[in-house]
Structure 1
């Protein structure tokens, strides 16, 4: 199978209908201009690279980027590369409607002869295994935001490095980065200018290459829909992309996942189901409010579970001054650390209960099942717990974090407790 085929939908032709097209004069001038800038961006920088890659999360912006680039190639508006590779980031925690839409789009890519690689983190670094098996607390936005790097960025870098080794060269990495409404409204054209001498309006092209191992000096990046408004994204996903003339892509379901006809107004950002980094699960709340997806409501119990797991009663704490590998004293003595085994077992039981409840409803309603933890992942979590696994720098001898301790300062001085637990209980 070749990496890219032009045998799918033909170039756009006027249909004679009143439906405006992307390339004809119409009342949607702003939209046509947005697509025209994308074409100019790809025409300016695409030919400089024989190999293209697209980083695809399954969300609205990256899906719009993927499908519009594929369509523009099919329509003859931009010249195809020698190879095109799609990298789909499967975190194992995607919202179910988005995951199902991504699967259908991958099937459509396969029919077109487009190479699509599903990228996942190694077993022991997947989100729930890392938490419940290894004992690393759920991420937060302040002191421990490990998830994006570990389950998305690093696996994507490794997959790209392997592909670069295979093709024996460099590549243009196309991303769905988008500045959005404000960049257009405020006419800040500089936001859509290249970083290395690009013309205004030709997308955000960077020759400042990532320093990650395996791809250093081997890719440039381009964000060809940087200038799109959110309404442009939704019009493409809901109206144009599903039409046969534009490829017949299965993108309408993505709009449903973001809130259906109200998706643009809701403007939800999607992440993992029950994302512990989001202040509110707007996308998940929108999904479960829809009758077809209401059975997924137990997923709303994940965020409270993650908050509970981060509580002191479920974690260990360093007891005194902590010496680092270089002999220096840690700046945060008595820091809280990993989850206790009791907390991990509790978390595993809750996740499996949520999954079972959803899948029983799915069976009863004839709806798709969910797969938070498959058999291999559950077994690995149990194996890590039985093996007494702790994160680096911890051995399980540390006290539970809600236990009262003398206060230790960074300089090693100690402030004793005013009262011990025996003192507090002595008169009872």
Structure 2
């Protein structure tokens, strides 16, 4: 509804997505890259959000002269990691945050260097300010009559102020708790989305050693030096990928079957094109770069190989 309201005001809306092979579930289940984690493999944010947006901005800049301004909803306190980035960059060129965060961004991105700045007008808003805006002021005719009350309800309404819930990817493997989803399904209008709570356990299961391959010894870089992580765990087996695909489709079907029965919005975790591409990549026996597919599964007992090449035999 909000996109329709924007279009009615002459504001063009476009949904930006990653290329097919780099979309979240295609990358995991088709190519076999494990779900991201916070330690060694946090690939999702850049690949499915930042890079597609940078490409879209480059295309738009090609149609315009001068600079463009990107308005974001980033807010201090929303994420400790984001807060660190804000603290480092707010003082650029002696500037102060003032009412928002305004600075040059994406400085190294091809095609947009020095031509885009970002404004974060909510930077210093408290959580209660956000919910007051969504529930009270934005829907008022004098403030535009925006259809935002449903968003506040989806976040949890007044309770969201206490739990600081914010939406992101459903079942995000990087979040310790999916507070927003838990809050949403507690609402009678959204209870039918409860099967989505099965995504996070699925991603956790896919990272288990039994579902992944493992290198058996040392690997060497192009310069001849030994890689720092001998016997590293790697991609998902085909069996694990098919299991994951079946589970995701099952979750989607569960939700949508009830949605059709009660007249609620359906979800789209995987569309037909993405499912077909996953099956195509599996049929083509696709592995990430550096993997052949003949490596043992990571739960296979074997001696320990150290970076200096020494081996501690397996004691049985």
TM class, shorter-length: over 0.9
Structure ranking higher on relative contact order (CA contacts 8 Å, 6+ apart): 2
Assess if the C-alpha contact under 8 Å between 2:90 and 2:101 holds in 1.
yes
Query: Aligned residue for 1:366?
Result: 263
The CA deviation string for residues 299-343 of structure 1, in whole angstroms up to 9 with x for no partner, is 111110001000000000011111223332110000000000000
Determine if the alignment matches structure 1 residue 298 to structure 2 residue 221: no
Instruction: Give the deviation of 1:414 after TM superposition.
Output: 1.2
Determine if the alignment matches structure 1 residue 277 to structure 2 residue 174: yes
Instruction: Give the deviation of 1:222 after TM superposition.
Output: 2.4
The CA deviation string for residues 14-52 of structure 1, in whole angstroms up to 9 with x for no partner, is xxxxxxxxxxxxxxxxxxxxxxxxxxxxxxxxxxxxxxx
Instruction: Give the deviation of 1:199 after TM superposition.
Output: 5.2
In structure 2, how many angstroms separate the alpha carbons of the residues matched to 1:209 and 1:308? 35
Instruction: Give the deviation of 1:244 after TM superposition.
Output: 1.1
Q: SS at 1:169's partner residue?
A: coil
The CA deviation string for residues 128-149 of structure 1, in whole angstroms up to 9 with x for no partner, is 1110000000011111111111
The CA deviation string for residues 347-385 of structure 1, in whole angstroms up to 9 with x for no partner, is 000111111111111122121111111111110000000
Instruction: Give the deviation of 1:214 after TM superposition.
Output: 2.1
Determine if the alignment matches structure 1 residue 337 to structure 2 residue 234: yes
In structure 2, how many angstroms separate the alpha carbons of the residues matched to 1:243 and 1:384? 50
Query: Aligned residue for 1:308?
Result: 205
In structure 2, how many angstroms separate the alpha carbons of the residues matched to 1:146 and 1:192? 23
Assess if the C-alpha contact under 8 Å between 1:352 and 1:373 holds in 2.
yes
Determine if the alignment matches structure 1 residue 243 to structure 2 residue 140: yes
Match of 1:231 among 116, 120, 128: 128
- Greater shift, 223-232 or 310-319, is seen at 223-232
Number of matched pairs: 308
Alpha-carbon spacing, 1:314–1:231, altered in 2? closer, same or farther (3 Å): same
* Structure 2 unaligned residues grouped into runs of 5+: 79-86
Instruction: Map 1:338-417 to 2 at 5 A.
Output: 338-417=235-314
Match of 1:151 among 43, 48, 54: 48
- Greater shift, 153-162 or 213-222, is seen at 213-222
TM-score (norm 2): 0.93
Instruction: Give the deviation of 1:205 after TM superposition.
Output: 2.4
* Structure 1 unaligned residues grouped into runs of 5+: 1-103, 182-189, 420-428
Determine if the alignment matches structure 1 residue 326 to structure 2 residue 227: no
Alpha-carbon spacing, 1:193–1:302, altered in 2? closer, same or farther (3 Å): closer
Instruction: Give the deviation of 1:207 after TM superposition.
Output: 3.8
Assess if the C-alpha contact under 8 Å between 1:209 and 1:218 holds in 2.
no
RMSD: 1.9
Q: SS at 1:353's partner residue?
A: helix
Query: Aligned residue for 1:36?
Result: none
In structure 1, how many angstroms separate the alpha carbons of the residues matched to 2:90 and 2:109? 24
Assess if the C-alpha contact under 8 Å between 1:298 and 1:358 holds in 2.
yes
Q: SS at 2:165's partner residue?
A: coil
The CA deviation string for residues 54-96 of structure 1, in whole angstroms up to 9 with x for no partner, is xxxxxxxxxxxxxxxxxxxxxxxxxxxxxxxxxxxxxxxxxxx
Following superposition, which runs of at least 4 residues in structure 1 exceed 4 angstroms of deviation? 190-194
Q: SS at 2:14's partner residue?
A: strand
In structure 2, how many angstroms separate the alpha carbons of the residues matched to 1:296 and 1:237? 22
Assess if the C-alpha contact under 8 Å between 2:20 and 2:274 holds in 1.
yes
Match of 2:57 among 131, 143, 160: 160
Assess if the C-alpha contact under 8 Å between 1:196 and 1:207 holds in 2.
no
TM-score (norm 1): 0.69
In structure 1, how many angstroms separate the alpha carbons of the residues matched to 2:72 and 2:249? 35
Alpha-carbon spacing, 1:193–1:392, altered in 2? closer, same or farther (3 Å): closer
Instruction: Give the deviation of 1:208 after TM superposition.
Output: 6.3
- Greater shift, 315-324 or 258-267, is seen at 258-267
The CA deviation string for residues 138-170 of structure 1, in whole angstroms up to 9 with x for no partner, is 011111111111110110111011111111332
